[in-house]
Chain A
Amino acid sequence: MQEEIVGVRRWNRVLLHIGLWCAFVWAIFPFYWMVVTSLRPESELFARPPALFPRELTLQHYTELLLGGQFWRYALNSLFLTLVVTGLSVLTSLTAGYALARYRFRGSTVLPALMLYGQMFPAVLLLIPFFIQFRALGWNDSLWALVIVYLSYMLPLCVWLMRGFFAQVPFSLEDAARMDGCTRWQAFWIVIVPMARPGIIAVATWSMIHAWNEFLFAATLITSAEKRTLPLGLNGLIGQFTTDWGVLMAGGVLTALPIVVVFFALQRHLVSGLGAGGVKG
């Protein structure tokens, strides 16, 4: 009997490992294929049948992408958008999240609910009014207009997450600081904001990822080639008849890399941020 159970346990452990490693391979295989494609010489790319492992590696697609074309311009556009959107959403959600967690006032219970609804709108429903408004204002094809659009679907969630973080901050420390002569505003910056750092990191990472990755709004509102963001630029590499997949995948690697690095550097905070703000309510 005892031996039987031990036997079952061992089988369970084996199955567990097989399952996890299968999932791991399934999850990372497309990345392997992307990287391998970006490093293969042209001749090997269109060989039939495709070989799973490359025989020869080259950086020619990367040099082609970085020296010719407009990759740097797209990257700068994306960087600009990401920084501005992240800065604005962190600042505004910081004060709003604090006030919503700290004070009871008219609207303090309705607003968070409104914020949550705010992230659920189908993007097409926002896209059409933005398109019409920007057309009337002459703002179509402007990166600043995209900043506004991105805030529209970033900010509600940021406020919601930030409120979740502030709900865990001990406000007695703020009272202590005020006893020592700080005003509320000073105490907010000196005492409260440093304690909310994990929340700030979570919100910042969240909006960075979204601003860097967004495609639909940018594709609709940006028309001139020199204002494209990275995702638009990548899609633009798809030709009607032929596509240079080596260069495209090199671009994919370079677009994904910064966001992957940021994510894994900060993942602890992001995950706990989701836990505190999103799931705990």
Chain B
Amino acid sequence: MPWSAVFETGRGERLYPYLMVLPAFILVMAVVVYPVISGIVSGFQDLTLRTLSRGQVTFIGTRNFERVWADPVFWTALRNTAWWVGANVVAQMLLGLMLALMLNRPVRARSWLRAGILLPWVVPSVVAVLTWRWMYDPTVGIVNELLVRVGVLKDYFPFLGDVGTSLWAVTVESIWKGTPFVMLLLLAALQMIPRSVMEAAAMDGAHGWRLLFFVVLPQIRLAFAIALILTLILTVNNFNAIWLMTAGGPLNSSETLFTLAYRYGFERMNLGMASALATLLFVFLVAVTTVYLYLIRMREEA
């Protein structure tokens, strides 16, 4: 009899599902739940590299939060984050939807078009970001050259080095990188709309915009909501694009809450303040995730 026969009867049978989940459960507890809890706790501690090496970490109540609150850069970063998230989500959702609708039509060379349009999403973000940084180069960048040739710009402009344009320039890269994923999610949903629904709508004389707003969009509303929330989360958490192109600069003009938390923690080495700010972000994202789960549950019941 094989050793695994112990799972066929009695206690072994009852334990079997728990044992199957156990490795993942232990790992998630050790590498997700525990760090998150200790991260939140350290937001209430006087945690810097100095107190850490002396072993003198103490609780200081909400003082870290007050310090973050009192930092003028925090308010700049908050404004930037609102703009950054808003611009990215709106642009990526609109462009993603348009592309998905277009790619859902029978077009010549569709699989080539789709593969090409997906490419930005696939490529490692560090590679993509560094390529864009090179394209934005203020002396020999191709973006400048093209804009001058088209007549938009008179002269070369340091997009990443100017307080007025740095966040815009990074946003363009981020839209370029993020849109294909939205397109992919929405295209999958579009392809699952039953043919009969579309035929019935056509019989009833629905065309163009009407077909889109009253038939197609309601059919993909759940995928749309999910794509929206995922885009929001990915944008809030997007560190590489900003850090590797402008590092939040110049003069904090492209600083977001995420990069600011990183700066608190690993430039100023004030890990307590960094944790406090990260906790604020976390609370915001949990609220969003709850909506996400609620939507999925709604669908499972439907």
Contacts and interface: CB of A to CB of B under 8 A. Distances in A.
Chain B interface helix/strand/loop/mixed: helix
Interface in B152-207: 176, 180, 184-185, 188-189, 192
Contact of B116 (A27, A245, A275): A27
B150 interface: no
B23 A122 contact: no
Interface in B130-144: 130-132, 134-135, 137, 139-142
Given A27-B119, A122-B278, A259-B123, A128 B271 contact: yes
A183 B4 CA distance: 6
Contacts of A99: 16-18, 20-21
* Chain B, interface residues (CB within 8 Å), range: 35 or more
A99 B22 CA distance: 10
Contact of B102 (A20, A215, A245): A20
A6 interface: no
Most buried by A among B4, B115, B126, B145: B126
A120 B52 contact: no
B282 A121 contact: yes
B252 interface: no
Contact of A264 (B5, B113, B115, B293): B115
A185 B20 CA distance: 10
A252 B16 CA distance: 47
Nearest to A248: B130
A57 interface: no
B25 interface: yes
A263 B116 CA distance: 12
Given A92-B23, A120-B285, A215-B126, A20 B113 contact: yes
B117 A24 contact: yes
A155 B24 contact: yes
Chain A interface helix/strand/loop/mixed: helix
B124 A259 contact: yes
**Leading 10 A-B pairs by shortest Cβ distance:** A185-B4, A96-B24, A99-B20, A152-B31, A231-B126, A213-B124, A103-B17, A129-B35, A125-B278, A95-B20
Interface of A: 16-17, 19-21, 23-24, 26-28, 30-31, 33-34, 37, 45-50, 52, 91-93, 95-96, 98-100, 102-103, 105, 107-108, 111, 113-118, 120-133, 135, 148-149, 151-153, 155-156, 159, 183-186, 209, 212-213, 215-216, 220, 230-231, 234-235, 238, 245, 248-249, 252, 255-256, 259-260, 263-264, 267, 271, 274-275, 278-279, 281
16 contacts: A20-B107, A33-B131, A33-B134, A47-B140, A127-B265, A129-B34, A129-B36, A152-B32, A159-B24, A184-B8, A215-B125, A235-B244, A245-B137, A248-B134, A271-B188, A279-B222
